[in-house]
């Protein structure tokens, strides 16, 4: 396996995950889409390359560029394989690695990082990969350290 992190053009990658809407909030979203004359209108448009988001909040617009944007249908497995697995594999080669989730309360950080019984997040998947890797190596001692703060 190649060291995917060494191929990045920058040492930091920034990803955006669009949180799926729960049933109770779907009506609010539809109301925003219908009421286009309101100052509270928000339009989120992801680019075709899934690397940018334009947020229009009248009278201003904002442009955000990401390494990748994951839509609301993106699975925990896809998030892990695309975002965290390259970091985990690089740490197994001796590099330091950090995965940092940032966002407002209720935006889905805990679910992405921890997941639940049926949809494991980044931490359980990373631990599985790390200890699976360690178990394949004989006659070596390993020390694993991890910080996990919420």
3-state DSSP percent of the chain in helix, strand and coil, to 5: 35, 15, 50
* 30 annotated binding-site participant: no
* 10 annotated binding-site participant: no
* 115 annotated binding-site participant: no
Distance (Å, whole) CA 1 – CA 8 = 15
Closest CA to 17 of 85, 102, 98, 88: 102
* 105 annotated binding-site participant: yes
* 91 annotated binding-site participant: no
Say which residues have a Cβ less than 8 Å from residue 20's Cβ, sequence separation at least 6: 72, 73
* 112 annotated binding-site participant: no
**Phi, psi of 26, rounded to the nearest 5 degrees:** -65, -35
* 104 annotated binding-site participant: yes
Please state the residue numbers annotated as binding site for ATP.
Answer: 103-110
Please state the residue numbers annotated as binding site.
Answer: 103-110
């Amino acid at each position: 396996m190649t060291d995917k992190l060494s191929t990045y053009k920058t040492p930091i990658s920034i990803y955006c995950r669009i949180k799926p809407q729960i049933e109770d909030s779907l009506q609010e979203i539809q109301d925003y889409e219908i009421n286009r004359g309101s100052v509270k209108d928000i339009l989120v448009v992801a680019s075709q390359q899934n690397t940018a988001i334009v947020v229009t909040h009248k009278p201003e617009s904002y442009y955000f560029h990401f390494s990748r944007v994951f839509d609301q249908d993106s699975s925990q497995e896809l998030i892990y394989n695309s975002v965290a697995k390259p970091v985990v594999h690089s740490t197994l080669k001796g590099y330091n690695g950090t995965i940092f989730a940032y966002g407002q309360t209720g935006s889905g950080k805990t679910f992405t990082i921890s997941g639940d019984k049926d949809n494991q997040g980044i931490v359980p998947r990373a631990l599985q990969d790390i200890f699976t890797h360690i178990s394949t190596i004989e006659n070596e001692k390993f020390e694993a350290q991890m910080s996990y703060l919420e």
